[in-house]
Amino acid sequence: MDKTKATRIGRIRREGSLRMFSTFVKFGKFLLILLISLIVLTPFYWLIVTSLRRTKDMMALHPSLIPLDITLEHYNKVLHNVNILRYLLNSSIMAGTTTLLALFIATLAAFALARYFIKGAAIATMGLFGTQMLPPVVVVVSLFTVWLRLGIYDTLFSLILSNLAFRLPVLIWILLPTFETVPQDLENAAIIDGCGGWGLLFRIFIPICSPALAAGAIYVFIFTWNEYLFALCFTESISARVLTLGIKEYFGQHFTDWGGLMATSAILTIPILLLFFYLQKYLVKGLLAGSIKG
């Protein structure tokens, strides 16, 4: 009896130790996640806080973490700046058009590569992905010459084509595994019911692969919206300038308008953050789609 009781007590102690260790591990993970979140979110917090300060408070030697005197004067000034509004419109047109074109072309390409026998498709696919090994700066001079000779230099069209060339291969890479996992039996059943190629694409593949399409759209839009190099090299007039390049106007030779800079940066950043947080579930589903077959 005493031996049985001692065994039970020992088992209870071991279970208690395991529970304590498990709690300690969970607490450690929580602290690690909290630390990483603070490191990531601090710059965005400081951006928003600074944009709400008065100019005299920005120059304080020890600025407070929480602004006591909040003002919207910087946002009001930005929203009444005709040039900034023009840059915002140009960024929206560039990112939106690039995303729609990339989705359309990449969907057709992924569908063809996944479901049709194309001679040399493997080599073409590898070459397509190989373009991502080159940084954009390598082709800037070549693209500059091409756009200049085509007469589209200093236009939004040159930015759309440049971004499309670099975003399209990655988008095809995101969509291709998902298109390959669509059951062959479902495709055969649709063909028997009279579906042709376009019917298969729009009635079967696109609804099933919508998470991957959403993930790809988010990727293309965010990277195009934040693009700077092509905008710097291929535009020079106000009519074609985008917001990432227009921010430079706040830097003067003798003075920097920190309030306007922070307010414009917030306007540039907040929509992307909201879009990402709202659609992040589709981003995760899209990136995981195709990893498991069946």
Say which DSSP state 134 is in.
Answer: S
Cα–Cα distance for residue pair 110/121, rounded to 1 Å: 11
Q: Three-state SS for 78?
A: helix
With b meaning 16 or more CB within 10 Å and e meaning fewer, what string describes 98-127? bbebbbeebbebbbebbbeeeeeeeeebee
| Contact in structure between 235 and 94 (CB atoms under 8 Å) | no
Cα–Cα distance for residue pair 228/234, rounded to 1 Å: 10
CATH number of the 73-288 domain: 1.10.3720.10
Cα separation values, 38 from 34, 41, 43, 52, 110, Å = 6, 5, 9, 20, 39
Other C-beta atoms closer than 10 Å to the C-beta of 87 total 24
Among the listed residues 151, 165, 148, 47, the one whose alpha carbon sits nearest the alpha carbon of residue 105? 165
Q: Residue 60: pLDDT above 80? A: no
Q: Which pLDDT score is estimated for 293?
A: 47
Q: Residue 3: pLDDT above 70? A: no
Q: Residue 48: pLDDT above 60? A: yes
Each residue's pLDDT tens digit, 131-144: 767 788 888 888 99
Which long-range contacts does 53-60 make (Cβ < 8 Å, 24+ apart)? 53/259, 54/259, 55/258, 55/259, 58/258, 58/259
Which burial class, exposed, middle or buried, applies to 95 when counting CB atoms under 10 A from its CB (0-12, 13-18, 19+)?
A: buried
More confident residue, 259 or 7: 259
Q: Which pLDDT score is estimated for 294?
A: 45
Q: What does the domain layout of the chain look like in residue ranges?
A: 2-51, 73-288
Among the listed residues 192, 188, 138, the one whose alpha carbon sits nearest the alpha carbon of residue 162? 138
Q: Which pLDDT score is estimated for 161?
A: 93
Which of 14-23, 34-43, 97-106, 241-250 shows the lowest mean pLDDT across its residues?
14-23
More confident residue, 65 or 280: 65
Most confident of 14-18, 86-90, 169-173, 288-292: 86-90
Cα–Cα distance for residue pair 113/172, rounded to 1 Å: 10
> Residue 256 pairs with which residues in a beta bridge?
251
Say which DSSP state 201 is in.
Answer: I
**What percent of the chain is predicted at pLDDT more than 90?**
14
Q: Which pLDDT score is estimated for 11?
A: 66
Region label for 72, one of left (φ > 0), alpha (ψ between -120 and 50) or beta (otherwise): alpha
Cα–Cα distance for residue pair 145/109, rounded to 1 Å: 28
Q: Three-state SS for 256?
A: strand
Other C-beta atoms closer than 10 Å to the C-beta of 171 total 25
